[in-house]
Amino acid sequence: MLTSITDGFLCCLLGKSPNAVGPLDSVDGSPSLEVKPGRILRVRHSVPGNRPEFPEEPPEEPGRGAVRCRRRITLYRNGQLLIENLGDTGTPERLNPDPAEPETPDPAGIPAGIPAGTPAGKRRRRRPKKVVTVDCQKRITSCKGTHGDVVLFFIHGVGGSLDIWKEQLEFFSQLGYEVVAPDLAGHGLSSAPPVAAAYTFYALAEDMRAVFQRYAKKRNILIGHSYGVSFCTFLAHEYPQLVHKVIMINGGGPTALEPSLCSIFNLPPCMLHCLSPCLAWSFLKAGFARQGAKEKQLLREGNAFNVSSFVLRATMSGQYWPEGDELYHAELAVPVLLVHGMHDKFVPVEEDQRMAEV
What pLDDT does 262 receive?
Answer: 65
What pLDDT does 88 receive?
Answer: 64
**What per-residue string of b and e applies to 322-342 under the rule 16 or more CB within 10 Å gives b?**
eebbbbbbbbbbbebeeebee
- SS3 state at 93: strand
Mean of pLDDT values over 1-23: 39
Q: Which range (111-115, 327-331, 345-349) has the least confidence?
A: 111-115
Residue 228: count other Cβ atoms within 10 Å of its Cβ. Answer: 28
Rg over alpha carbons for the chain, rounded to the nearest Å, is 24
Percent of the chain whose pLDDT exceeds 90: 35
What pLDDT does 116 receive?
Answer: 46
Find which of 24-28, 94-98, 131-135 is predicted with most confidence, using mean pLDDT.
131-135
What pLDDT does 343 receive?
Answer: 83
> Which CATH class name applies to 141-357?
alpha beta
Q: Which range (8-12, 71-75, 96-100, 212-216) has the least confidence?
A: 8-12
Q: Which range (33-42, 95-104, 212-221, 340-349) has the least confidence?
A: 95-104
Residue 66: count other Cβ atoms within 10 Å of its Cβ. Answer: 12
Per-residue confidence at 80, pLDDT binned at 50, 70, 90?
Answer: confident
- SS3 state at 237: helix
What pLDDT does 40 receive?
Answer: 94
Q: Output 208 or 18, whichever has higher pLDDT.
A: 208
* Bridge pairing between strands 219-225 and 150-155: parallel
Q: pLDDT tens-digit profile of 189-205?
A: 999 999 999 999 999 99
Alpha-carbon distance of 64 to 216, in angstroms, equals 25
What pLDDT does 342 receive?
Answer: 84
The dihedrals phi and psi of 92, each to the nearest 5 degrees, come to: -75, 145
pLDDT at 207 over 70: yes
- SS3 state at 164: helix
Q: Where are the beta strands (DSSP E) in the chain?
A: 32-36, 39-46, 66-76, 81-86, 92-94, 128-139, 150-155, 178-182, 219-225, 243-249, 336-339
Alpha-carbon distance of 207 to 211, in angstroms, equals 6
What pLDDT does 214 receive?
Answer: 96
> Rounded mean pLDDT of the chain?
77
Contacts (Cβ under 8 Å, ≥6 apart) of 119: none
HSE of 33, CA atoms in CB hemisphere, 13 A: 22
What pLDDT does 76 receive?
Answer: 83
Q: pLDDT tens-digit profile of 156-202?
A: 999 889 988 999 999 999 988 999 999 999 998 999 999 999 999 99
pLDDT at 11 over 50: no
Q: Which range (13-27, 226-240, 259-273) has the least confidence?
A: 13-27
Give the single-character DSSP code of 120.
Answer: G
| Domain spans in the chain, listed from the N-terminal domain onward | 141-357
Give the single-character DSSP code of 325.
Answer: S
Q: pLDDT tens-digit profile of 282-326?
A: 777 777 777 778 777 766 665 556 788 889 889 999 999 999 998
What pLDDT does 29 receive?
Answer: 65
pLDDT at 96 over 50: yes
pLDDT at 5 over 70: no
What pLDDT does 168 receive?
Answer: 95
In sequence order, which ranges of the chain are alpha helices (DSSP H)?
Answer: 2-14, 166-174, 201-215, 227-238, 269-274, 276-287, 293-301, 309-317, 326-330, 349-357
Q: Which range (4-13, 35-44, 159-168, 251-260) has the least confidence?
A: 4-13
Q: Output 320 or 279, whichever has higher pLDDT.
A: 320
Q: pLDDT tens-digit profile of 253-270?
A: 999 998 876 666 666 767
Mean of pLDDT values over 129-151: 75
**Angle CA(250)–CA(351)–CA(280) in degrees, nearest 5?**
45
What pLDDT does 242 receive?
Answer: 94
Q: Output 53 or 29, whichever has higher pLDDT.
A: 29
With beta carbons less than 8 A apart as the criterion, state whether 169 and 116 touch.
no
What pLDDT does 264 receive?
Answer: 67
Alpha-carbon distance of 358 to 353, in angstroms, equals 9
